[in-house]
Amino acid sequence: MAASSGVTLGYGTRVRIGRGTTPVEWTIIKGAEEVQFPDQTPTDVDVTWLESPGATEESIRGLKTVATFTLPMQYAPGGETDLLLSDLEQQGSDEDFLLEITPSGGATHTWVAYVNTYRMTSATAKDKKMAEAVFKVKAKVSVAPPAAPANETLPAISGTARVGQVLTAWPGIWNPTGNLAYQWQVNSGGWTNIAGATGQTYTPIVGQVGNPLRVIVTATNGTGSTSATSAPTANVVAA
Query: What is the structure's pLDDT at 57?
Result: 59
Query: What is the structure's pLDDT at 105?
Result: 66
Query: What is the structure's pLDDT at 40?
Result: 75
- Ranges for all domains in the chain classified under CATH 4.10.410.40: 14-141
Handedness of CA 28, 30, 35, 40 (dihedral sign): negative
- Ranges for all domains in the chain classified under CATH 2.60.40.2700: 151-229
Query: What is the structure's pLDDT at 29?
Result: 87
The correct CATH number of 14-141 out of 4.10.410.40, 3.30.465.10, 3.30.470.20, 3.30.70.360 is 4.10.410.40
14 vs 20: CA distance, rounded Å: 19
From the list 75, 216, 238, the residue with the least C-alpha distance to 157 is 216
| pTM reported for the whole predicted model | 0.51
We find that the CATH architecture of domain 151-229 is Sandwich (2.60)
Averages of pLDDT over each 10 residues, the chain, 239 residues:
43 84 86 74 65 60 79 89 94 93 80 94 76 91 80 96 97 92 97 98 97 97 94 97
Burial of 45 (0-12, 13-18, 19+ CB in 10 A): exposed
Are 43 and 70 in contact, with CB atoms under 8 Å apart? no
34 vs 129: CA distance, rounded Å: 15
